[in-house]
Structure 1
Amino acid sequence: MSQQNSREKAMEVGRRTGRDPIVLAAAGSVLLAWYQYYVRGNKEHGLFIGLWPPTMLAFSNAVHIEEIREEVGERMETLLDREP
C-alpha cells in the first residue's frame, strides 16, 4: 500500500511539473557529471556519474512498457470475455 502511495505522489509531481521525476533526476545527474568532470577535474567520477542517466531512463522505460503490457492484457481479456 505504501508503494502505491509513493507512486501516486511521484505521478502527481510529474503532472504538476509536466515531467517524469526520472527525467529530472537524469538531468540532474548530467549536470553533476559535468561538474565533476570539468569543474573539479575528477574525470573518473564524472564518467561514472555520466552513466547514471541512461541507466535511469532505461529502467523507467522498462517499467512503463510493463505497465502498458499489463493494461493491454487486461483490455484484451475484457474484449474477449464479451458476448457477441
Structure 2
Amino acid sequence: MADQDMDTDEKASTAALSAAGLSILYSLYLFYVRGERSKGIFVGLWAPTILTIASYVEETNLTEKAQSELDA
C-alpha cells in the first residue's frame, strides 16, 4: 500500500514539474519569439504558482498521513 502511495506522489510531483517547465518554455517563446513581453512575463509567473500549489498539496498529504499514524 505504501509503495502505491509513493508512486502516486511521484506521479503528481512529476506532473507539477512538467507543467512548470512547460510554462517556462512557453513564456520564453512568447517573450523572445513572438515579442509579446507582457504575456511572456505573465506566463512565466505560472511556474512558481504551480510549484507552490504542488508543495502545499504534498505537505497537506504528509500532515494527514502523520496524523492518521498518530491516531492509530
Category of TM-score, reference length = shorter chain:
0.7 to 0.9
Q: What CA deviation, in whole Å up to 9, does each residue of 1:28-59 have, x standing for no partner? A: 00000000001111100000000000000000
Higher mean C-alpha displacement, 19-28 vs 58-67: 19-28
Q: TM-score, normalised by structure 2?
A: 0.82
% identity of equivalent residues: 29
* 2: CA distance, partners of 1:20 / 1:75: 26
Q: Report the counterpart of residue 52 of structure 2 in structure 1.
A: 58
* 2: CA distance, partners of 1:41 / 1:75: 53
Q: Report the counterpart of residue 4 of structure 1 in structure 2.
A: none
Aligned residues: 66
**Structure 1: gaps of 5 or more residues:** 1-7, 79-84
Q: Report the counterpart of residue 26 of structure 1 in structure 2.
A: 20
1:67 matched to 2:61: yes
What is the alpha-carbon root mean square deviation over aligned residues? 2.2
Q: Which runs of 4+ in 1 moved over 2 A?
A: 11-15
Matched AA of 1:56: I
**Structure 2: gaps of 5 or more residues:** none
| Equivalent position SS for 1:55 | helix
More helix by share: 2
Q: Report the counterpart of residue 71 of structure 2 in structure 1.
A: 77
Higher RCO (CA-CA < 8 Å; seq separation 6+): 2
Q: Report the counterpart of residue 14 of structure 1 in structure 2.
A: 11
